[in-house]
Chain A
Amino acid sequence: MKPPPFKYHDPRTVAETVELLARNENAKILAGGQSLMPMLNMRYVQPDHVIDINRVEGLSYIREAGGRLEIGAMTRQREIEYADLVARRAPIVREAILNVGHRQTRNRGTLGGSLSHLDPAAELPLVSAALEATVHVQGPKGKRDIAMAEFPAGYMSPSIELDEMVIGVTLPVWPDGHGYGFVEFSRRHGDFAIVAAAVLLDVEAGGKIKRASVTVGGVGPSPVRCRDAEKALTGEKGAEAAFRAAAETCRTIDAMEDVYAPAWYRQHLATVMTRRAMVAAFGRAANAR
């Protein structure tokens, strides 16, 4: 369990990084390293080149612009956890982060790294999908934007080119007073979730749900938006039965199966986690009371 030999690169700009990616075959970007380093230690990946972007300028920021939240790719999970702006404008992101790994890994892990690694159960891709984020990537031909819904190309594979890198994310902000719930089930605290659910609810005065976002992670190869559940919630007034019925629609999601959790269990947990997240979200919505 020692990393295999590789050539180390230490660029200072995104342009330089992208050029290194274009020039070198079998290269891996090292961001926070909390996924890449275990894979290197286990030799699951054996890159010839490791491009460390920790010294690349301008990739670590959290800011609000045009009613949206912008977060740089190299922003550490810990910065997001403790950012007032995130807590105020996208509290579900903070809620999700509390479930990401441990203190040690959150201090190092980055938003861009988590999105690029794209573990099917990871929390940050899940909330990014829930919020309909836009992922900003840059390659030799310049920058482009990818809607989060289009970002996963498959199991642990983002739809970016080998010479592109994630540089940041824009998160649409839900109205003040919206409800949010992030609930996950893992065997131990800090483990990757078996199933996680993110729910956002815009509740109008009188308690009626105007808009809903329901997303589950850990079930499919990438986060799954549960449109049927969202439809079922819209117009509802927060009755337990309504949440139960909406959540039940998640039982038919195509689910992964492995030695740790069978497909039926993931599907079942999808209904439980989404319902609990709906209840939490509704309970937090200002107009629900």
Chain B
Amino acid sequence: MARAHVTTTINGDVVDFLCEADQTLLSALRDELRMTGTKEGCGTGDCGACSVTIDGRLVCSCLVLAVEVEGKAIDTIEGMADGENLHPLQKKFLEHAALQCGICTPGILIAARSLLERNPDPSETEIRYWLAGNLCRCTGYHKIVEAVLDAAREMRS
């Protein structure tokens, strides 16, 4: 079967790639483009480790076919920091040690950024519910919530 040709914008750069029709966006990012920051945790949309945004909307990249993103803008963890300057969320995660093994962290950062874009002053409860689709086995979520609250505070000021 002929491979499909897809043109997208990823983290602001126009990117072309070839993929199979049955390949997920997650697999295309990781296996075709070698952008391995986005992780696979479950393959059923239950854990959020593969979270990216498509046209600014938070999605699970394991539940999107790569061919569906033709002409779309994708944002992944690799584009979150500005060179060596960390995004405030990344900075606060570092300060609070809001990560342990780090496998869920890219997805959680992408999800948290999308929350703060919509709601710059979320409550603890709003953060917990917004992140309900992102499982973490290491942290017990406590410091993740703290780091998001702190980042929101900093981004508002």
Contacts and interface: CB of A to CB of B under 8 A. Distances in A.
Contact of A104 (B4, B23, B65, B111): B111
B16 interface: no
Interface string A93-108: 0000000011111011
B132 A102 contact: yes
A101 B133 contact: yes
Chain B contact residues, majority secondary structure: mixed
B22 A4 contact: yes
Chain A contact residues, majority secondary structure: loop
A1 interface: yes
A50 interface: yes
Contacts of A105: 45, 60, 63, 133
B48 A102 contact: yes
Interface in B37-84: 43-45, 48, 51, 57-60, 62-65, 67-68
A107 B133 CA distance: 12
Given A102-B48, A107-B58, A34 B63 contact: yes
Interface stretch (A5-13, A126-134, A167-175, A250-258): A5-13
A108 B65 contact: no
Contacts of B63: 33-34, 37-38, 41, 104-105, 108
B9 interface: no
Given A41-B44, A104-B51, A3 B22 contact: yes
A30 B45 CA distance: 16
Contact of B65 (A1, A8, A42): A8
A5 B22 contact: yes
Given A38-B44, A41-B62, A42-B43, A189 B132 contact: yes
A54 interface: yes
Interface residues of A, number: 31
A10 B111 CA distance: 29
A101 B20 CA distance: 28
A52 B59 contact: no
A104 B21 contact: no
Interface residues of B, number: 30
Given A105-B45, A189-B129, A7 B64 contact: no
A37 B43 CA distance: 9
Contacts of B1: 5, 7
Given A37-B62, A104-B111, A108-B63, A50 B21 contact: yes
B43 A38 contact: yes
A78 interface: yes
A141 interface: no
B27 interface: yes
A262 interface: no
A260 to B, nearest CB: 15
Contacts of A41: 24, 43-44, 62-63
B36 interface: no
A47 to B, nearest CB: 10
A17 to B, nearest CB: 15
A104 B67 CA distance: 19
Interface in A21-37: 30, 33-34, 37
B58 A8 contact: no
14 contacts: A2-B24, A3-B23, A5-B20, A7-B1, A33-B68, A37-B64, A38-B43, A40-B22, A41-B43, A42-B43, A50-B65, A103-B130, A103-B132, A190-B132
List of 5 A-B pairs having minimum Cβ-Cβ separation, nearest first: A102-B133, A8-B21, A37-B63, A38-B44, A1-B43
Given A30-B65, A38-B63, A104-B58, 10 more contacts: A5-B21, A34-B63, A41-B43, A52-B68, A102-B132, A104-B45, A104-B133, A105-B60, A108-B57, A108-B59
